[in-house]
Chains A and B, each alone.
Chain A
Amino acid sequence: GAGVSQSPSNKVTEKGKDVELRCDPISGHTALYWYRQSLGQGLEFLIYFQGNSAPDKSGLPSDRFSAERTGGSVSTLTIQRTQQEDSAVYLCASSLEGGYQPQHFGDGTRLSIL
């Protein structure tokens, strides 16, 4: 079946611009996660959505970052007023509900801030 789909696969933008990254989870998966992979910091958790519960935003690095999940499916991660340190690969994952369920990752969006 279809895996987690992310778009765009690559995004290059100028410092100060806003960007939107999209994630389409695996059908039926109620949990959705965003992570960031950068050379200096490794893989970092950003935000977690589970069903209709309030999201866990504890990993968002600043108030320039926000995310929403519409209809319990597609999610958008928005970065406002981008900075060069935002350059990274942004990964989305989804899973079935339950702490033992593995998370399945998309191929990521490589974001480059000029």
Chain B
Amino acid sequence: GDSVTQMEGPVTLSEEAFLTINCTYTATGYPSLFWYVQYPGEGLQLLLKATKADDKGSNKGFEATYRKETTSFHLEKGSVQVSDSAVYFCALRGSNYKLTFGKGTLLTVNP
């Protein structure tokens, strides 16, 4: 079945540091890929998406590129802020429409 593996946290960075959260997936066919973010005390929010190979999703300075050859969708940001502290979830949506999530990565950014 479909599965998503993302790097275990927690990740702690200083403000303005470079962020990478690794995500790899297993799926049949051609899934759509997503990053969701959950800020403290809030629900899941869509951060960015990519629907086909080589697509790059981007939002709020975050980027991720759909790499079919490596089955990866790594999340990056060049300069993190304290306000980026949250839990980040990588997810895929396969042919059966349900989302399969990774276990989440807690990011803490210190001033």
Contacts and interface: CB of A to CB of B under 8 A. Distances in A.
Interface residues of B, number: 24
A107 interface: yes
Q: Name the residue in B43, B100, B102 with the highest tally of chain A Cβ atoms < 10 Å from its Cβ.
A: B43
The secondary structure that dominates the B interface is strand
Interface in B73-107: 89, 91, 93-104
A42 B46 contact: no
A112 interface: no
Interface residues of A, number: 21
A98 B73 CA distance: 21
B51 interface: yes
Interface stretch (A10-18, A43-51, A67-75, A79-87): A43-51
A25 interface: no
Contacts of A99: 32, 93-95, 97
A31 B45 CA distance: 17
Contact of B51 (A100, A105, A106): A100
Q: Name the residue in B36, B91, B93, B97 with the highest tally of chain A Cβ atoms < 10 Å from its Cβ.
A: B97
Interface of A: 31, 33, 35, 42-43, 45, 48, 50, 56, 59, 91, 93, 99-100, 102-108
Interface of B: 32, 34, 36, 42-46, 49, 51, 89, 91, 93-104
